[in-house]
Amino acid sequence: MHKLVVLYPTPVDPDHFRDYYVTNHLPLVTRLPGLLAWRYSFDVTAAQGQTPYFAVFEAEFADAAAMTAARASPQGLQVSADVANYATGGAVVIHYAVQ
């Protein structure tokens, strides 16, 4: 199993982020080839202090090769290009093999 995680710092317009993300971005994500599962949350908190993130997204793929292929696919390129339409605070993308 290989996981992709996207951490979103606070955007300029949180309401626009939420609306656009659910209405436009997530439907694009669901078309990624090889995507096994996905989830997201706008309810991100830190164990101590203030959280540096507004939202989080997780995607699961069979392995690193499947994730890489999904990201390089036409659908994956469309998902990546769409991030600028809502994530005005940027996005931190990490991925790893699940142990």
32-72 pLDDT, tens digit per residue, is: 999 999 999 999 999 999 999 999 999 999 999 999 999 99
pLDDT digits (tens, 9 = 90+) for 23-38: 999 999 999 999 999 9
Which residue reads 């989830």 in tokens? 39
The radius of gyration of the chain's CA atoms, rounded to the nearest angstrom, is 13
Name the pLDDT band for 11 (thresholds 50, 70, 90): very high
> Alpha-carbon distance 26 to 97, whole Å?
23
Domains of the chain: 2-97 (3.30.70.100)
Residue 11: CB atoms within 10 Å = 20
Type of residue at 62: A
| Edge-to-edge order in the sheet of strand 55-61 | 37-41, 55-61, 2-8, 92-97
pTM: 0.94
Average pLDDT over residues 11-30: 98
What was the pLDDT predicted at 32? 98
